[in-house]
Amino acid sequence: MGAHSHFILGFRLAKELADRGHEVTFINAYPQKVPINNLREISVAEIRKDLDEKKKELYEMGTMSYIGQLSWVSDFGYFYTEKVLKIKEVQELLHSDEKFDLVLIENFMNEAMAIFQHKFKCPSVIMAPGPTTVFNNHLLANPFESAYVPNLLADFGSDMSLWERILNVYYDVVGQLFVHFVMIPNQNAILQRSVPGAPDLQDILYNASFMLLTSHISLREPSPLQPNIKEIGGYHLLPPKPLSKDIQDFLDSAKDGVIIFSMGSNLRSADFPKEKKEAVLKVFSRLKQKVLWKFEEDLPGKPSNVKILSWLPQQDALAHPNVVAFITHVGLLGKIEAVYHGVPMLGLPVYWDQEKNINDAVRQGFALSIPFPQLDEKNFEWALKELINNPKYRETAKLRSRIMHDQPMKQLDEAMFWIEYTIRHKGAPHFKSPALKLQWHQRVLLDVFLVTGIVVVVILSVVYHILKFVFTSSRSDKKVGKKKKRE
């Protein structure tokens, strides 16, 4: 995918595999300027300009309906998948005679990429940039439990009311229908155009050996996972690197603390509506804390306690002990980094999974949320001061950080173990769920319920007709008896 945050996830795995001696071919939109041993890159950087234009629509996405968001993200995936598959170097790879031991595929509305596993006839591992969802559960036959596992786009937790469970079932059912009757057919159309002679996508889509999730139990509520689905959230994190002198001095001199503000790589703070930008600056001007803000343009009239940067070394800055809060759009990587370093968050969710990401953190007690359309001076100031001045948020953030750190092995090492395990065991078929052999209606026992219903109806019908016959016969006998008495 063209998003830089998604590139980070792929690059971290690719480089670690290369460092361990594997020969890696990495298709990505952000090729390295300095070559890396064992790592061959196929650049698809040409898609970035078009994707950047699409990203300008993201601030409007949060106002869309559930189906509207599904359609937008599916169209986005359709757009970049087709562009990548048509790039000359990608086509050359697909038509080459190269041999691979494994294909690692990021899954985000790009199911047509399953062609790489089919082409090279080797095992594959899926890297999901998030938790299991209604959009990827089907790939490894992972159960989706609508009774207590909230949909990715739901704004409630597992403790659902009756109405919320009804909504959750609606979200899950509509999501499943969308995946199977809109998204996969659209991806199959891309595949057939881009790779003439390719098999139908449905025939090659369900062969992955493992799925690696960019999520972690410290971030979410428990949910069922198949044994070949592994959580490795936080694997992209590295030991903090030295900051530039101006940033280091700015952070070191913040006696009352520093607030870090970033809307990530897909959203630009510079694109804030004028009234929201002014509201934020007014609040910052009244704070005693310093603010380090990822802002992509000049910002005339900014308060003296605010430092802007067009690019922010977010991981490294969050590690500084003077950081007291993180204002964020609540992309998953930013949330992971905040939890890792024990920093409380103020979320300004805009679209897709961001509202769920921050609402989970609010329920866990280390964050506050202001949905972006509701951002104004009054609620921004209250939330920011509450987050900074109430110690419970920082204490809970530190607790969550300890949970994330308390692991039998580092997340990156676990990712490497399962990738190499897949190679050693030639796809590890013993891990695959037998549910993959069933049709969807068999998995949910629809055929069993249907047959049972038919049997019950037949039995009730037979009983009804027997009773009807008995009662009819009884009435007839009584009528005959009365007639004889009268005679």
CATH topology of domain 245-405: Rossmann fold (3.40.50)
The pLDDT assigned to 415 comes to 96
Backbone angles phi, psi at 393, to 5 degrees: -70, -45
Q: Where are the domains of the chain?
A: 4-235+410-441, 245-405, 445-486
Three-state secondary structure call for residue 159: coil
Output the 3-class SS for the chain: CCCHHHHHHHHHHHHHHHHCCCCEEEEECCCCCCCECCEEEEECHHHHHHHHHHHCCHHHHCCCCHHHHHHHHHHHHHHHHHHHHHCHHHHHHHCCCCCCCCEEEECCCCHHHHHHHHHHCCCEEEEECCCCCCCCHHHHCCCCCCCCCCCCCCCCCCCCCHHHHHHHHHHHHHHHHHHHHHHHHHHHHHHHHHCCCCCCHHHHCCCCCEEEECCCCCCCCCCCCCCCEEECCCCCCCCCCCCCHHHHHHHHCCCCCEEEEECCCCCCHHHCCHHHHHHHHHHHHCCCCEEEEECCCCCCCCCCCEEEECCCCHHHHHCCCCEEEEEECCCHHHHHHHHHHCCCEEECCCCCCHHHHHHHHHHHCCEEECCHHHCCHHHHHHHHHHHHHCHHHHHHHHHHHHHHHCCCCCHHHHHHHHHHHHHHCCCCHHHCCHHHHCCHHHHCCHHHHHHHHHHHHHHHHHHHHHHHHHHHHHHHHHHHHHHHHHC
Domain 245-405 in the same topology as domain 4-235+410-441:
yes
d(C-alpha 105, C-alpha 177), whole Å: 23
What does pTM read for this prediction?
Answer: 0.88
Sequential pLDDT tens for the chain (487 residues) = 557 888 889 999 999 999 999 999 999 999 998 999 999 999 999 888 887 777 777 777 778 888 988 998 898 889 889 999 999 999 999 999 999 999 999 998 899 999 999 999 999 999 998 899 988 999 999 988 899 999 988 888 889 999 999 999 999 999 999 999 999 999 999 999 999 999 999 999 999 999 999 999 998 888 999 999 999 999 999 888 999 999 999 999 999 999 999 988 788 888 888 899 999 999 999 999 999 999 888 888 889 999 999 888 999 999 999 999 999 999 889 999 999 999 999 999 988 888 889 999 999 999 999 998 899 999 999 999 999 999 999 999 999 999 999 999 999 999 999 999 999 999 999 999 999 988 878 888 889 999 999 999 999 999 999 998 888 876 665 665 655 555 5
The domain 4-235+410-441 is classified under which CATH number: 3.40.50, 3.10.20, 3.30.420, 2.40.50? 3.40.50
Q: How many residues does the chain have?
A: 487
The pLDDT assigned to 270 comes to 83
